[in-house]
A and B are shown apart, each in its own frame.
Chain A
Amino acid sequence: MPFKKSLICLSILFGVSAHAQEEVKYSVDSVSQGQRLFAMNCTSCHGNDGKATVNFVADATNLTDPTQWREGNTRAHAFSAIKGGQAVDMPAFEWILDSEEEIWHLTNFIISLWPEALREAALAE
């Protein structure tokens, strides 16, 4: 998509993208930080519990049930969707959060909402 290419250029030019950061491992501390970020950024569409039952938003994803996710349900998919946005209404949080580290914290918090078996499988990958 031509605009995607321009965006990459823009990111380089203006330094507006989140700072590149190595993956942050799943941990209690990271989940806790992710929870804070979730409270600030995500609840209006995904709800306090992540189940996306907020009625006025039709297209938000139920974050607690990755089996419903259409674009994949690995940890990497979750990270990518948060970072780059998805579909029409899911914003790209690389433009909102301060760093990739924060995106990883948010990813880890969302993984923490998954059923135990799916979470363990995702973390084992």
Chain B
Amino acid sequence: MSDNKNTPNTQNDSPTNNKEESQTGFSRRKFIQSAAVGTGAMAMAGASMAQPTNLSDKYNIDITSIGIAPDFTTSHELAPIASSFENKNGMTGAEVFAKACKEEELAALFCCPGNYDVIHALAAEGIPAYGGRNEGQMAHAADGFSRATGEVAACSGTEGPGFTSMIMAIGTANAAHTPLLVLASNMQIAGEDRDQMIQNVYQQPTTEGMKKYGKRIITPNRVHEYAGYAFRNLKSGVPGPVHLDFPSEVSRAQFTDPSQLTDYHSRERYRTESRSSASSAEIKAVVKMISKAERPIIVAGQGVFQRKAWEPLLKIADRNDIALVQSGPVMGHVPDDHRMSAGTATGATLSADLVIFVGQYCMPSPGEYAFNPNIKTVRIHPTQEDIGRNWPIDLGVVSDEKIFLEELANKIPRKKRSKWVDELAAARAKSVKKVERGYQLALKYSEKTGLIHPAVMAMEFENVFAKGDIDPKQTTYTMGGYTIGRCLSRNAFSYRPGQTLAVPYQYGCIGGDVGMAFGSGVAVQRGIGPQAPYKGAPVVCATSDAAVAFGMFEMDTANQYKVPMIVIIYNNNAWGTFGQAHRKPQGTHLHLFQENLRYDKIAEGLGVRGEYVKTPADLRAALERSYKLASSEGSSTVINCQGMKEFSSASAFPHPSLAWAIEPGRGAVAH
């Protein structure tokens, strides 16, 4: 071991392996070495050509040949080449589309091989492109990138299987209203209905109900026109996924002159940045309602983040003592430590007498938010047709969120509401006390069992990243899992825009965590949008043993692209749902995994660090060590945090964290 100070001896936790080696004289390292000799010169040549990442040696990972291929590095560092009609063969349809994406400043592409014409054209054009291990995870990565930045990102897969692999992620992005550009190749037009070769599927019907707009492009010379359709939808109103599929007749068509293409205009001519705004009478009406209210509250939805409207929002709250609570798939545009934050002021929301929903895209019904049933309601939304849906309104205003908030910030008078401020502060303090109470109980459970209760993991997470030496604003988090997700909802702090991503938001997806964390990691690595001040910082993903199985191989992807990630797995040997079979115990086995699986060892096999922890102290040390190494050396770590499924049993280990978070507020995943 070359770095004993910073690195745990992972073999200490694996007595079986050591015993096996001592008794048989056989080890995996020896096996690999002997296998390498046996596989001949080609394999040896390949191994010797690989550039070692140094991680395997540095951290005493017992696999000798992990390395990043020289071809990867060479390709990744190549300068872009702009396509042009002046080139010998002009431009292909894929290149025309890629050029439009470049002009629209498409921020990133996440993909797996397939749809070659389009992804190669995008990469060559200079769109930052990332190739991973699974199309679904790459689509989650694009979603994560977009959630962390508010920018449009694309994902891509091959026609049949690659495309359908993305479905869960498309559904997730649709529920979260992410501006996700979904690309896929598709059977050639000439092959329709002929079962030609392989990978045939009709894509557009498959994404019905999961997109804002979709089109199978069947007329080659309209490819630029449909790029316009795509970006008009991605960058206007309420965002959502746009799905384009490309038959080869479109992607490989040749164009030598712009006149061969329909609607070949610049973006200023095929779409507008003009947005709806409230009239002065409407602003006056809102101000009047606020003035009459004693306890007003603004629910700052996803639209506030998407439109980067947090500054006027906070100004309004400060000027008029209006409570703030955020909602949506990304948290932080209402900082938890703001004096008017109601994010953890559970119960105080019930005494609010006026709620103003701004940019609330997933609209709850009365009863789903802890508000008084008779609360006066104002809703600000960028499109007219959604206002009044689910939640009855007293006033509806069609306006872009940022324009409305800026206008309101200019018009709202100063007002002190000391009773309301005190009530919020008292409710927040009570919430902290309750979380601490739950933590103390969980600590006792951990001491009793020698395993980590999920509430302990959640609190250690907060201790290290919010209360320790690390700037609490620095780290971007991705939160997933069922059992651990419910616990983390009490500790999932956020202090600045784009800081915390709630993977299961609305759609309830389990399994997008690692992919989404990778996407957010790319955003931080490049310092895009609200991530700019934290450029290069490690990102953290809290997930479960169930969820990580969907995406763990993307640690390979993270390593290749040098995105430092710390993935903390709450390992309770089961789907968090195992209790659902309580009344039909014959079904319990459907929810269980083998016990004590070593995800940390799998991580080592993927070329990243692995840590295995069973006590709160070990967990904290592992978190601190992993973060330090991620910061200083760019290394990623998977921390396998061992718990047990019985901690989810209300009768065996009663604990408040089993209850879902009260909405609106911290930990909300439904709306």
Contact = CB atoms under 8 A, between A and B. Distances in A.
Interface in A1-53: 1, 3, 6-7, 10, 14, 16, 36, 39-41, 43-45, 48
A106 to B, nearest CB: 13
Contacts of A40: 346-347, 350, 370, 662
Interface string A82-104: 00111111111111100000000
Interface stretch (A54-62, A72-80, A107-115, A117-125): A54-62
Nearest to A49: B367
Contacts of B670: 44
Contacts of A94: 654
A6 B444 contact: yes
Interface residues of B, number: 36
A93 B368 CA distance: 19
A91 B650 contact: yes
Contact of B660 (A10, A14, A44): A44
A59 B659 contact: no
B131 interface: no
Contacts of A39: 350, 367, 370
Given A48-B365, A56-B508, A87 B350 contact: no
Interface in B634-660: 648-656, 658-660
Nearest to A87: B582
Nearest to B580: A58
Contact of A88 (B365, B650, B660): B650
3 A-B pairs closest in CB distance: A88-B579, A92-B654, A85-B650
B464 interface: no
Contacts of B347: 40
B414 interface: no
Given A40-B370, A48-B367, A56-B508, A95 B579 contact: no
B368 A48 contact: yes
Nearest to B347: A40
Given A90-B650, A95-B656, A10 B579 contact: no
B370 A96 contact: no
B582 A89 contact: yes
A87 B650 CA distance: 6
A57 B578 CA distance: 11
Contacts of B283: none
16 contacts: A6-B448, A40-B662, A41-B659, A45-B660, A48-B368, A58-B577, A59-B580, A86-B650, A87-B650, A89-B579, A90-B650, A91-B656, A94-B654, A95-B437, A95-B441, A96-B434
B454 interface: no
Contacts of A48: 365, 367-368
A41 B437 CA distance: 18
Nearest to B350: A36
B49 interface: no
A95 B662 contact: no
A109 to B, nearest CB: 13
Interface string B507-538: 01000000000000000000000000000000
B662 A41 contact: yes
Contacts of B658: 85, 89, 91
A92 B350 contact: no
Given A39-B367, A59-B583, A16 B437 contact: yes
B656 A59 contact: no
B440 interface: yes
User: Which one of A58, A87, A88 has the greatest number of beta carbons of chain B within 10 Å?
Assistant: A88
Given A40-B662, A41-B659, 18 more contacts: A3-B652, A7-B654, A14-B440, A14-B441, A39-B370, A40-B350, A45-B660, A48-B368, A59-B582, A85-B650, A88-B579, A89-B579, A89-B582, A89-B658, A91-B656, A92-B650, A95-B654, A95-B656
